[in-house]
C-alpha cells in the first residue's frame, strides 16, 4: 500500500476558499451576489474565501449548488494561485 501524504486542515480550507473565489469570479459574481444566493452575509463568503471557515457537508453542498459545480470540484487546486487582492491598493506617493 502506497503512503498517503498527511493532510493539513488549514491548507485544505485555503484551497477550498481559493477555489470558491475562482468559481465565483468565473460566474462574474461579487461576494455579495454569492452571499445572496446562499442566504448568508458577504462577510461569511469572504471568510470562506480566505480559508477561515471549517465548512460542513451542508455548506459544501450549498456552495456547489450555488456555483453549479460538483462538490469534488471545490477540492481542486485553484488555477489562479496567488491572485488574492485583499485590502486597498497601494497608492504611489
pTM for the full predicted model? 0.80
CATH homologous superfamily of 9-74 equals lambda repressor-like DNA-binding domains (1.10.260.40)
pLDDT tens digits for 29-72? 999 999 999 999 999 999 999 999 999 999 999 999 999 999 99
Give the Cα separation of 29 and 23 in Å (integer). 9
pLDDT tens digits for 65-93? 999 999 999 999 988 655 555 545 555 55
Give the Cα separation of 49 and 38 in Å (integer). 14
Amino acid at each position: 500500500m502506497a503512503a498517503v501524504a498527511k493532510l493539513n486542515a488549514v491548507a485544505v480550507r485555503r484551497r477550498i476558499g481559493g477555489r470558491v473565489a475562482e468559481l465565483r469570479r468565473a460566474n462574474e459574481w461579487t461576494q455579495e451576489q454569492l452571499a445572496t444566493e446562499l442566504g448568508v452575509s458577504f462577510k461569511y463568503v469572504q471568510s470562506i474565501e480566505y480559508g477561515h471557515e471549517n465548512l460542513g457537508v451542508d455548506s459544501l453542498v450549498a456552495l456547489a449548488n450555488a456555483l453549479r459545480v460538483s462538490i469534488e470540484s471545490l477540492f481542486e487546486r485553484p488555477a489562479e494561485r496567488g491572485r488574492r487582492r485583499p485590502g486597498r491598493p497601494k497608492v504611489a506617493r
